[in-house]
A and B are shown apart, each in its own frame.
Chain A
Amino acid sequence: MTSQTSLAQPAPAPSTGGGGRLQRMKSGVGTAPFLAYTALFLLVPTLIVVIGAFQGTGASFSLGNFRELLSSGPILQSLGRSLVLSLVSGAIGAVIGAVVAYFLSTAPPGGLLRKLVTAASSVLAQFSGVMLAFAFIFSFTGRTGLVSRTLNSWFGVPLADVNYFSTLTGLIIVYAFFQIPLMVIIFLPAVDGIRPQWREATESLGGSTWVFWRRVAGPLLTPSFLGALLLLFANAFSAFATAAALVGLGAPLITLQISQALTSETGLGAPNLAKAEALVMVVIVAIVMAAYYAIQKRSSKWLG
């Protein structure tokens, strides 16, 4: 056809803002389906939560939900417990996961060990919520649990009852269990990003392994480690499925409180309490994520 003229004048280039607002709006047309979809299924629910949190009976503006929230012992305790759980399980997962990630990075890159560990980590971290909970309940509690009865017969440790995993310690154990593989997945790329040339340069300049870790790898990995820790925190804080399966009575975590508020038949005094709790959750997670992005931005300059 007119390949010659086409070559001389390629398809109209995207206007880079020089064409005025109309041009920009026109060029945005292609994103309309996406925007519409996310508006309906993401923005609208979020707005409903935000607005609802500030609504009292009869859709009037009120801070009653928050007053209820802040004066309720159980809710505040569950919030506190969620924070502690997320922090502790995050810390445990971060440390152990970082160590595993380091050792994994020293293995041959395309090798079998890596593939096995990454595959196992993906499974345990990402889609095992309910199944994992069952694994722990069935192994660690009661006379039939493998671990509980072994500990009992070998070391005389008293059998844990079914409600063990409703306690904070029990929850920490289970949460740490899936935080470790998540850490491996998140942190492994960072460890891989430590170039062999830096190690070799350190050695040729006279540095030992200790020097390398203290002055090169340590400082380089610290931002990634902190960022990963934040992600682990947010992950634990938002977790619901595992908690729902583990906890028998009550709602010792904030996510369970929200679920309880959502499904309870009897009004809990404030009609949009769940939404208020949800809003508090979002704010906390948003702060954590903001800190994560700030750290990412800074360290990506180095390792990019």
Chain B
Amino acid sequence: MIQPVTSAVGETTGSPSAKSAGPSLVAVGQAGVAVELRGLSRSYGDVHALDGMSLDMTPGELVVLLGPSGCGKTTALRVLAGLEDADSGQVVVGGKDVSSVPTSKRDMGMVFQAYSLFPHMTARDNVAFGLQLRGQDGPTRRKRADEYLELVGLNSQADRYAHQMSGGQQQRVALARALAIQPKVLLLDEPLSALDAKVRVQLRDEIRRIQLEVGTTTLFVTHDQEEALAVADRVGVMRAGKIEQIDKPDIIYSAPTTAFVAGFIGLTNRVSGHASDGIVSVLGSNVPLLPGSPTSGGVTALVRPEAIRFTPSTMGSGPGTATVVATSFLGAHGRVQARLADGAILLAQMSVGETVALHPGDIVDVAIAPSRVLATA
């Protein structure tokens, strides 16, 4: 059973669905198909937007393609949709090669970053658009449209136009429209990037919830790493037309395989240390190294803020101590910046209690937790 999505701040849902939302919504719908992108390459002149990029998606999975602008993530999505041609490589959906199939026959739902909705149609008509193209008659498609609007929590807006809705509402309608045709694949091209921060956070959770309920294989493109980690089954970090690492969010975060991935996700401190035998000695602590790091010699360790703790100094000076520069209180936790002897600034994330106990000018001891870190030469 589909439950209507709970309303976001400031938006009202219609009355909770007393009627059966129709087992048709999920049971008949595609339970998700497997998607393979094989060796996609696409160049524009000298620029290689895609450089032999490959990706396998299991049915029902939500994969996020994450990366800086120009890394090819949007190009990959558009090649999958059929909106761009690849110079070489294949797109395989549900075991069938669709590389030569035009967009209109690929049966994929798409949500764009902006201008998603047809401005001259109501929300209901927008959602019903794809259904009409599939030959459903008036009453049927209106009913289905209303069901999907309810799924995204907007059945009260069914008769409104795009310019009468907020950005978040528009994107929800766009999502309903994409899902209403029960597509094989759902494609989301930076759907939240144009929205306010608060709306973004709420809407991404709802997108994830809906996607899990409906079970469609989904490709989600974004440049916001927090967003990526929050919604994905797997995150693929892309750079220069290729996927550099693709893993579950917690693995991407805690075990990056390259310095680029480590630097792109979350915050990192770059601290010099000395490696030997798979352990790096940095600021007086010994920390195990992740695979991919040099095993000996002088290295730069990439340490996450939450792995660092500052405590009021017992040593007073020497390696392993730092001087507090600033503290900030972030609600659930705190952050402290301290300057090392060589002038570099370290950022630590600690509990509120520990943070407020420190003041600018205090000398602190630096302790680094023994969780594995990546290092570069």
Contacts and interface: CB of A to CB of B under 8 A. Distances in A.
Touch test A–B (CB under 8 Å): yes
Contacts of B160: none
Contacts of A297: none
B360 interface: no
21 contacts: A195-B115, A197-B112, A197-B116, A198-B115, A200-B112, A201-B112, A201-B116, A201-B118, A203-B103, A203-B104, A204-B108, A204-B178, A204-B187, A205-B130, A205-B133, A205-B177, A205-B181, A206-B130, A219-B120, A302-B161, A303-B119
A220 interface: yes
Of the candidates A203, A205, A303, the one having the most CB atoms from chain B within 10 angstroms of its own CB is: A205
A233 to B, nearest CB: 25
Contacts of A219: 120
B190 to A, nearest CB: 12
Interface residues of A, number: 21
B208 to A, nearest CB: 21
Contacts of A220: 119-120
A302 B119 contact: yes
B3 to A, nearest CB: 26
Contacts of B178: 204
Given A207-B104, A219-B120, 20 more contacts: A197-B112, A200-B81, A200-B110, A201-B110, A201-B177, A203-B102, A203-B103, A204-B104, A204-B108, A205-B104, A205-B181, A206-B104, A206-B130, A206-B134, A208-B104, A211-B133, A215-B129, A216-B118, A220-B119, A302-B163
A304 interface: yes
A205 B116 contact: no
Contact of A200 (B102, B103, B161): B103
Nearest to A223: B120
B211 to A, nearest CB: 17
Contacts, number: 66
A207 B118 contact: no
A206 B120 contact: no
B134 A204 contact: no
The range of chain B's interface size is 20 to 34
A26 interface: no
Contacts of B83: 200, 203-204
Contacts of B81: 200, 204
Q: Interface residues of A: mostly helix, strand, loop or mixed?
A: helix
A198 B118 contact: yes
Nearest to B102: A203
B242 to A, nearest CB: 25
Interface string A193-234: 001011011111111100100011001100000000000000
A220 B129 CA distance: 15
A301 interface: yes
B32 interface: no
A164 to B, nearest CB: 45
Contact of A301 (B110, B118, B130, B163): B163
A204 B103 contact: yes
Contacts of A303: 119
A304 B163 contact: yes
B134 to A, nearest CB: 7
A219 to B, nearest CB: 5
A206 B133 contact: yes
B171 to A, nearest CB: 12
Interface in B167-194: 177-178, 181, 187
Contacts of B181: 205-206
A207 B181 CA distance: 12
A10 to B, nearest CB: 28
B175 to A, nearest CB: 12
B185 to A, nearest CB: 10
Nearest to A222: B120
Contacts of A203: 82-83, 102-104
Contacts of B114: 197
Interface string B235-263: 00000000000000000000000000000
Nearest to B183: A204
Interface string B112-130: 1011101110000000011
B198 interface: no
A193 B106 CA distance: 27
Nearest to A204: B110
Contacts of B112: 197, 200-201
A174 B106 CA distance: 50
B129 A205 contact: yes
B107 interface: yes
A197 B162 CA distance: 14
B109 interface: yes
